[in-house]
Chains A and B, each alone.
Chain A
Amino acid sequence: MPLTNATQIARSEGDPIVEKKGPSSLTGPDRLARALGWFSIGLGVAELVAPGKLARMLGLEDKEGLIRAYGARELASAVPTLSVDKPVGLASRIAGDALDLGTLATALRRDNPQRHNAAIATAMVVGITLLDIAAYTGVKAVHSRQRGSERDYSDRSGLPRGSQASRGLARRDFDPPADYRAEGKLADALPELVA
């Protein structure tokens, strides 16, 4: 919950009010990543709170502990996915998807009475994996820096008289204010002692 809600901060009367929303800085891949981050939190909480129910539903009764661990993993990957470092979170989600698929594969055995549920869950995880991959490649593409194509600004000195001629130019008419002085010599502070 934002601090603003907790503290009941409100904008002051007279401040501009939004009349019509315009284009956002958020891109499609950013929004997809955000949705996947919240999905991670939902799934993670479900796996932590009700691993037994999920295990029975999938015919994985002996893997309750593992499902709970996967819940913790989901929450851990949700944090970076919802942060500005989305690629880190999405990469961990893709790795997690692989683990999920590996675990679900063991539930697809013919003698599992819940095989049908496991097949549905597998299809869902495959779909989510594709979304994770799309989000990962999307955010990497829209937020890339194109290394190697940097511009050279070595002609932008900002010192019209040149660097060397500008050195100390301000000292001719600017003394550091007394309240900003940190330097000093003993001879200046205690001349009688030095003499």
Chain B
Amino acid sequence: MKALVWHGKEDVRYDTVSDPEIEHPRDAIIKVTSCAICGSDLHLFHNLIPAMLPGDVLGHESMGEVVEVGSAAKGSLAVGDRVVIPFTIQCGECDQCLRGNYSVCRRTNRKGELGDKAFGHRTAGLFGYTHLTGGYPGGQAEYLRVPFADTTHIKVPDGIDDEKLLFLSDILPTGWQAAVQADIQPGDIVAVWGCGPVGQMTIRSAILLGAEQVIAIDYLPERLSMAAAAGAITINFEEESVLERLNELTGGEGPHKCIDAVGSENHVNFGQPDTILDRAKQMLLAENDRPHVLREMIYACRVAGVISIIGVYTGLVDKIPMGQAMNKGLTFRMAQAHVPRWTGDLLRRIEDGQIDPSFVITHKVDLSKGPEMYRTFRDKADSCIKVMLQP
């Protein structure tokens, strides 16, 4: 089959690889009809997340049709079922799955000892990601083996386009969880840093959850225009001071809720000198992430406010103002999205016409264009915000 394969830093290829096969009774194989490139794929593209191997198949946002089912998954899945595959692999039986904390499933990381060493305690297996999370082959491919398939799928109805359903795999529940983590209350002013695909979903989720006002922060005009389309007030940090503008919009009190939809790779620019120092340290392997947004959120947030982190961080960060956070009584919530916890509800909202996630797709191309689309997405060229690929 054809697949997008990681060969090293900035080196993604459209390769021919062997077809996946059922390896375990709980497995299923799906024929991928649509997949997407995620912002967190760029961390792999930049080789910022350790433990990738040349030859790893990428992709954790996929959907398709079931073509083969293992004996133990047959009660839940049948050949021909249309499914979206969550980026997290969950057993559905461990204590964390039973709590709804699917992204920290205790059993699906098949390289759990490595996960234990890297994170202290293993997290769930993820598709198309580092071997720290199991190194499972991803879904930017013609076919995908789904382990624990009886609990790792979202059945979706016919009659709704892939474009509206695909993002149940990741960015829609991720953006939703970012807003839920913030515990948005009616009347809240919510600031969202980062207007990439997850930020865009977060903005819509915050509005649906009743935020009085959403403020969207980025520097790319096309992304800010998409944020404004949902009714957000926008701040272009290359043109104005984020802190001054936030204070102006909140009567000097700061936003009630601050959401980080940027994570590891903050834009580096002279207007935010700490980003330059972070970038230099990152190059010298002295720091993993560039946490400018985290610093700014802690400073900007209203006292007793909530900081919700959904942007992916990879490891060590420097100079986090914990004194300000502690003295202001801030609450921090963060996690990789517990996808299946939200998808039933979100699918209903898509069917009900409350949200149409297809708005975020700016590029829809054949899977064979994947390597150049990684470049286009990374370079933010051609006003690219979200790439959908079709094998």
Contacts and interface: CB of A to CB of B under 8 A. Distances in A.
B371 A169 contact: no
A110 interface: no
Interface stretch (B16-24, B64-72, B85-93, B287-295): B16-24
Interface in A171-187: 171, 174, 176-177, 179-183
A169 to B, nearest CB: 5
A125 B154 CA distance: 60
A80 B372 CA distance: 22
B210 A171 contact: yes
B353 A168 contact: no
Nearest to B285: A79
Contacts of A22: 2, 13-16, 368, 371
A12 B220 CA distance: 41
Contacts of A2: 50
B18 A16 contact: yes
A21 B360 CA distance: 31
Contacts of A145: 379-381
Nearest to A85: B279
Contacts of A83: 283
Tell me what chain A mostly uses at the interface: helix, strand, loop, or mixed: loop
A15 B137 contact: yes
A26 interface: yes
B331 interface: yes
A4 B379 contact: no
Contact of B208 (A14, A84, A150, A169): A169
Contacts of B51: 3-4, 7, 9
Given A154-B225, A157-B229, A143 B375 contact: yes
B259 interface: no
Contacts of B95: none
Contacts of A150: 220-222, 225, 383
Interface string A138-157: 00001111100111111111
Nearest to A20: B16
A26 B11 contact: yes
B231 A164 contact: yes
A84 B9 CA distance: 8
A21 B131 contact: no
A191 interface: no
Contacts of A153: 222-223, 225-226, 229, 362, 383, 385
B156 interface: no
Interface stretch (B74-82, B178-186, B240-248, B316-324): B178-186
B160 interface: no
A158 B15 contact: no
Contacts of B368: 22
A57 B381 CA distance: 48
A174 B137 CA distance: 35
Contact of A11 (B9, B55, B279, B379): B55
6 contacts: A9-B114, A9-B131, A150-B225, A156-B229, A167-B207, A182-B182
Interface of B: 1-3, 5, 7, 9-21, 23, 45-46, 50-53, 55-57, 99-100, 110-111, 114, 131, 135, 137, 141, 145, 180-186, 200, 204-205, 207-211, 220-223, 225-226, 228-231, 268, 279, 283-284, 306, 331, 333, 345, 349, 353-360, 362, 368, 371-372, 374-375, 378-383, 385
Given A15-B57, A143-B379, A154-B225, 12 more contacts: A4-B50, A25-B12, A25-B374, A85-B279, A150-B222, A153-B226, A153-B385, A157-B231, A158-B229, A158-B230, A166-B355, A181-B183
